[in-house]
Amino acid sequence: MEQTPIDQIVVELAGGAFEEEAKRARQEYFKQIQDLREDDPSYERLTFCFLNWYVFDRPMESGKGTPLQIFVCRPDLTPEERARFIGMAGNIHSLFEVKKLGGGRLSLRDLFTGELVPVVERRHVTGLQKGDVLEARLLPLDNKLVFSPGAVLQHPRAAKKIILQAVKRSRKEGKPSPFELIHRLQALNFRYTDRFRERVQVEKVYGELNSWLASGEHAS
């Protein structure tokens, strides 16, 4: 896997004495994708998504905060390093629509807030076009927003209408929560990309989202 800005935190708070807790967290995160295998095309990307959630969002069982909040208290960090990691707490994890792209910059519309977000990305994201919908975590680094490496998940264009309707319902009713909806879409993306791409239409796979919303199975 490529190096990411959160590697130091992962090494310290997902391994060693925390290895068993990290395993429990992984089981919790992937309960909707229990058949994920290391040889699946989506394995690395989904693992990055999990690690980002683990570092930024999941409180540790010690009750001392998230791995990021615990890590920034290390006495051996320089003031510059501490400020950099503290700044990363302002990350944005959401579903976005691509409004503009080119020249190493993108303009994304946060589907949950409606806000336009400028992103710096020197590397071209393969296949990304204006109007596409993607899940991403944006990190504030060096006074700009960048994609958290590896944790970008692009949804099929044919699923856009279904996704926008689900987001509209989330915004109107307050449920499911953005995280629940994003997490469910990860599972559907995996099903389509790694299991059914050659055999089942996108609309049928992502159409399961409507049944899930109607069932009320989400926690919110």
* Residue 169 within a domain: yes
- pLDDT tens digits in sequence order for the chain, 220 residues long: 557 889 999 999 999 999 999 999 999 999 999 999 999 999 999 999 999 999 999 999 999 999 999 999 999 999 999 999 999 999 999 999 999 998 889 999 999 999 999 999 876 667 789 999 999 999 999 899 999 998 999 999 999 999 999 999 999 999 999 999 999 999 999 999 999 887 889 999 999 999 899 887 776 5
Q: What pLDDT, on the 0 to 100 scale, is given for residue 137? A: 97
In this structure, are 13 and 81 located in the same domain?
Answer: yes
Q: What pLDDT, on the 0 to 100 scale, is given for residue 35? A: 93
Q: What pLDDT, on the 0 to 100 scale, is given for residue 215? A: 84
Q: Which of 121, 154, 187 is the last residue of a domain?
A: 154
Give the three-class secondary structure for 195: helix
Q: Which of 125, 154, 183 is the last residue of a domain?
A: 154
In this structure, are 17 and 80 located in the same domain?
Answer: yes
* Residue 74 within a domain: yes
Q: What is the spatial distance between Cα 130 and Cα 108, in angstroms, rounded to a whole number?
A: 9
In this structure, are 133 and 184 located in the same domain?
Answer: no
In this structure, are 12 and 66 located in the same domain?
Answer: yes
Closest CA to 183 of 1, 31, 2: 31
Task: Print the domain residue range for 171.
Answer: 157-215
In this structure, are 18 and 39 located in the same domain?
Answer: yes
In this structure, are 139 and 182 located in the same domain?
Answer: no
Count how many domains the chain has.
3
Q: What is the spatial distance between Cα 191 and Cα 147, in angstroms, rounded to a whole number?
A: 24
* Residue 206 within a domain: yes
Contacts of 29 by beta carbon, 8 Å cutoff, 6+ apart: 50, 53, 54, 183
Q: What pLDDT, on the 0 to 100 scale, is given for residue 220? A: 53
* Residue 1 within a domain: no
Q: Which of 119, 154, 189 is the last residue of a domain?
A: 154
* Residue 220 within a domain: no
In this structure, are 99 and 136 located in the same domain?
Answer: yes
